[in-house]
Structure 1
């Protein structure tokens, strides 16, 4: 399998809960990047899901992983995203290859996980930024 960076936009972003468990100390570099799509929360609001349809700017990061551990890390990310390439019909997310734009405006081919479940979605996130959304939700509860 080709070693591509992984574009993360939700709980796998630097400093967030799944980053700590699955990516911390396992990346060679992490680069801010964007793509286009439509971001929404799942019904309980605990994590986002992304659809390729839409023109919102989605903010995230490219996670570059070394060749030596790439298969292991991708397997872990597939697990946390509920993706099974042998059983796409029952996968929560689908891993795709897309072109994203890094912070320097360069086009980069990367893996991304798109929502693959009918239903189960809640609030639309117009900012396209999970970090901003989480901060606003915390402010509402304080």
Structure 2
């Protein structure tokens, strides 16, 4: 299934991994938000943790160029250390509804959220990123 990506950390425009993975491979990048999610500080990058009645994580909805999509999806899975079905994955790629800031429209997108073990550790002892906004935190 071809879906856009919702990015909220190092893949955002202006951040280091955006230059390495997304630059020149996207058709559009729009401000968006993901509800029922809490953003936690990680070692050099953030983790979105799904929480019913949680906060909002702010990021961008990135639509890849069609000719780059397959290769980009595989590269982002490797970057996020996501292996389908592996309970030890740092991140899990899930399909979620995000809301575009420009028009309030809901859009289905791929989102990399914290894997089960990582999410449990963060809920117990992690540091939340207030406001759900990682950009401008001195990285990239």
Equivalent residue runs for 1:1-142 within 5 Å: 2-36=1-35, 37-42=37-42, 44=43, 46-53=44-51, 54-85=53-84, 87-103=85-101, 104-119=103-118, 121=122, 122-132=126-136, 134-135=137-138
Runs of 4+ in 1 over 6 A off after TM superposition: none
Report SS of the residue matched to 2:30.
strand
Structure 1: runs of 5+ lacking an equivalent: 138-142
TM-score of the aligned structures, taking structure 2 as reference length: 0.87
For the aligned residue pairs, the C-alpha RMSD in angstroms reads 1.6
Conserved 8 A contact 1:56-1:126? no
SS at match of 2:60: strand
CA contact (8 A) 2:88 2:117 kept: no
- The alignment covers a number of residue pairs equal to 131
Task: State the alpha-carbon separation in 2 of the partners of residues 59 and 51 from structure 1.
Answer: 13
**Which consecutive unaligned segments of at least 5 residues does structure 2 have?**
none
